[in-house]
Amino acid sequence: GDCGACTVMVDRVALRSCLITLAECEGRSIITIEGLSPDRSHPVQQAMVVEQAIQCGFCTPGIVMSAAALLARNANPGEGDIKEAIANLCRCGVHPRLIRAIQRAGAAMRREQPTGTVPPLGLPDVEAAPAAAIKPASETSEH
């Protein structure tokens, strides 16, 4: 597909897993989105959240992997480098924010700036609104 959602890193190069065979992968280093950083601490993941460069989320894993591969070989990419490396098609139109996110991640990798503040993992604490305090719509609506 043209979205590139299935992008993985094969020997530090971004490739679409749907276009390579298992035999071609034998003996090579394969990194998936789960292996990049399960706690979403990779600078690209952090910067994507800070720059709000995520919309529907369908193409996001592939974009993150393509960006991580780009930054592994060039931690200071220009806009042209980014556009060339990120062939993933995002139908939500986040490309301007995506470019900023990748440049932010590169600056963080070069230790020139932090990626920014990212919300913690997990769901918000539900103690603030216990289920017993939530009334059915039939009890709260006025007739």
In a domain, 31, yes or no: yes
Neighbouring C-alpha atoms within 13 Å toward the C-beta of 83? 5
What DSSP character marks residue 121? S
Report, as an integer, the average pLDDT of 52-70: 91
pLDDT, tens digit, for every residue of 14-54? Answer: 998 888 998 999 999 999 999 998 788 899 999 999 999 98
In a domain, 97, yes or no: yes
Q: Is the pLDDT of residue 81 over 90?
A: yes
The pTM score is 0.76
In a domain, 84, yes or no: yes
In a domain, 125, yes or no: no
Q: How many domains does the chain have?
A: 1
In a domain, 134, yes or no: no
- For 15, list phi and psi in degrees, rounded to 5: -135, 150
CATH number of 37's domain? 1.10.150.120
- pLDDT number for residue 73: 93
In a domain, 128, yes or no: no
Determine whether 105 is exposed, middle or buried from the number of CB atoms within 10 Å of its CB (0-12, 13-18, 19+). Answer: buried
Question: In terms of residue numbers, what domain contains 59?
Answer: 7-118
20: left (phi over 0), alpha (psi -120 to 50) or beta: beta
- The terminus-to-terminus CA distance of the chain in angstroms comes to 52
- pLDDT number for residue 57: 84
In a domain, 143, yes or no: no
- pLDDT-derived band of residue 133, with 50, 70 and 90 as boundaries? very low
- pLDDT > 70: what percent of the chain? 80
In a domain, 106, yes or no: yes
